[in-house]
Amino acid sequence: MMRVAVGGIDHETSTFTPVPTTLDDFRRRFLLEGAAVVDTFQGTNTEIGGFVAALERQQAEVVPTMFAEAHPGAPVARRVFEELLNALIKKIDDAAPLDGVLLDLHGAMVAEGEQDPESTILRSVREVVGENVPIIVQLDIHANVSRAMVDEADALIARETYPEIDMAERGEECADLLLRTLRGEVRPTGAVCQMPFIWGTNQVTAEAPMRDAIDALHALEALPGVLTASICTGYPFADVPDMGSSVIVVTNDDQGRAQALADELGGWLDDRREDWFGPMPATADLIPTVAGDGRHPVIFADREDNTGAGTPGDSTGMLRAFLAADLVDACVLYIVDPASIRTCEGAGVGATVELAIGGKSDPDQGAPVCARAEVLALSDGGFLYSGPMYHGLSGSMGPSAHVKVKGVHILLVTEREQPFDPSFARSLQLDVDRMRFVGVKSQAHFRAGLGAFASAIHVVRESSVHNPPSGPLVYRNLGRPLFPIISGPEGRSMTHVSARDRSSQELHDLQGIEGE
């Protein structure tokens, strides 16, 4: 019986956010050892759920090791990274002899003193298991892929949906490829093309133009000798040498062909670099247009305070715009604000309280919105994911409150998590599908569970630590030129896009970037 180790360390790191990433943040999300790794994820739409399903179906022995994941935030503290890595390595070492290793790594982690921690993880695992034990890794579509990662692993397979709903499916693909390798049927050989651009907001894989990119990817995967291929749109809020988009191709024992095919698709995507950027108006500029057309619900997606990309989740720009426009049957999902929740808990359901909502983490997140609010519901934050993302997994937003200011419902939460589906809101007696205007702090993941009932979706842009009102983010450590980031006196920054035949407003809109 083949013995396959299963585990991982998963973090998407912003080098621009003040939200720290501590060991407690991993404990609050996932810090699992031994059997708990399988027990937690078996039967769920997760990476490890997929690994386990395919291994068991093919009568391989699942050897659970360690799995750690924290919500996106600032670079992982050095000591924490070492502790997690040592725990994973010890578990893999203790599990010897192993036939193969399946890992779940996000691919866009940064730790203090480690600009490419995934390659460090892979090198450490390789040292323990040796050259002859294949290591196959599932990555997030937003991975910043380095050559070292490709060299250390036998194969990297990234998710190919955004919103990301193919975790289990890709997990099964990883396990299937590992078992084919162990049976001697194939010899995975990978190459990466690091592309010279970052991806904008047009990366929803079910819609044009991103659907064309995925079609091109599938056409490449159908070629003889190609085992798997991935497009990583990258995670742009990390000022590290390997930040950027990439194509990975894995062939059956043909390095030259893997590289040529990766370069070919990379070139095709780069020829269309401007297609990956969509418009991002301010909420206030958009409201008059969409409020007048009578189609509801309309979703406004504030992609600049997307907690899924590591921001604090308490920016107030969208809420302020909703209130200024006197919207009714409107809601904002969610605003991270434990202090206001405590005020609500003290007053109780049905009370009216004076709140300073949000805007507490960083001046770039905007000032708090001071308002009289009605407390409509309170909860400990526990819920079950009901949409395609994480279906079946239990989640918690921590102590939470549903308050209403004039016509706007606001869900105040403690944990930084995006609205993936309506079930958490429903647990606080808010039926999102009955709202006329829905504001979310998310760029795309909300589409998985909320998109079906929206009559229109608009990505909007408000101030945040990822979109500072004082000026664009400045990068100093990039390893290659990346459209539309250009060099300036202070370093490279997002300003002054030089695209052909664009109006100045379009150029401004082009500057948006995305990652989750």
**Token digits of residue 106:** 């996000």
Contact pattern from residue 87 through residue 126 relative to Zn ion, giving x for each residue in contact according to CB under 5 A and a dash for the rest: ----------------------------------------
State the sign of the Cα–Cα–Cα–Cα dihedral 388, 390, 393, 399.
negative
- In 106-175, beta strands by DSSP E: 135-139, 155-158
Question: Shortest gap between Cβ of 142 and Zn ion (angstroms)?
Answer: 4
Kindly state whether residue 71 participates in binding Zn ion, applying the rule CB under 5 A: no
Question: Shortest gap between Cβ of 478 and Zn ion (angstroms)?
Answer: 20
Q: Is the Cβ of residue 140 or residue 314 nearer to Zn ion in the bound state?
A: 140
Q: Is the Cβ of residue 110 or residue 321 nearer to Zn ion in the bound state?
A: 110
**Token digits of residue 181:** 């390798």
Q: Is the Cβ of residue 142 or residue 320 nearer to Zn ion in the bound state?
A: 142
Question: How many of the chain's residues bind Zn ion (CB under 5 A)?
Answer: 3
Question: Shortest gap between Cβ of 516 and Zn ion (angstroms)?
Answer: 4
- In 423-506, beta strands by DSSP E: 437-440, 456-460, 474-475, 486-488, 491-493
Question: Shortest gap between Cβ of 45 and Zn ion (angstroms)?
Answer: 14
Q: Is the Cβ of residue 190 or residue 308 nearer to Zn ion in the bound state?
A: 308
Kindly state whether residue 445 participates in binding Zn ion, applying the rule CB under 5 A: no
Question: Shortest gap between Cβ of 104 and Zn ion (angstroms)?
Answer: 12
Distance CA 276, CA 510 (A): 9
Q: Is the Cβ of residue 389 or residue 401 nearer to Zn ion in the bound state?
A: 389
**Token digits of residue 50:** 């997929």
Q: Which of 116, 166, 415, 516 binds Zn ion (CB under 5 A)?
A: 516
Q: Is the Cβ of residue 138 or residue 400 nearer to Zn ion in the bound state?
A: 138
Site for Zn ion, residues 120 to 159, rule: CB under 5 A: 140, 142
Q: Is the Cβ of residue 91 or residue 142 nearer to Zn ion in the bound state?
A: 142
Q: Is the Cβ of residue 378 or residue 448 nearer to Zn ion in the bound state?
A: 448
- Residue 348 buriedness (CB in 10 A; 0-12 / 13-18 / 19+): exposed
Coil/strand/helix, residue 369: strand
Torsion of CA 244, 310, 409, 354, to 10 degrees: -140
Contact pattern from residue 292 through residue 321 relative to Zn ion, giving x for each residue in contact according to CB under 5 A and a dash for the rest: ------------------------------
Kindly state whether residue 273 participates in binding Zn ion, applying the rule CB under 5 A: no
Per residue, what are the HEC states of 258-317?
A: HHHHHHHHHHHHHHCHHHHCCCCCCHHHHHHHHHHCCCCCEEEEEHHHCHHHCCCCCCCH
Distance CA 491, CA 485 (A): 10
Residue 41 neighbours by CB under 8 Å, 6+ apart: 47, 48, 49, 52, 67, 393
Q: Which single residue brings its beta carbon nearest to Zn ion?
A: 142
Secondary element (H or E) of residue 449: helix 447-450
Segment lying near Zn ion (by CB under 5 A), choices 203-211, 252-260, 448-456, 508-516: 508-516
Question: Shortest gap between Cβ of 464 and Zn ion (angstroms)?
Answer: 18
Coil/strand/helix, residue 417: coil
Q: Which residues bind Zn ion (CB under 5 A)?
A: 140, 142, 516
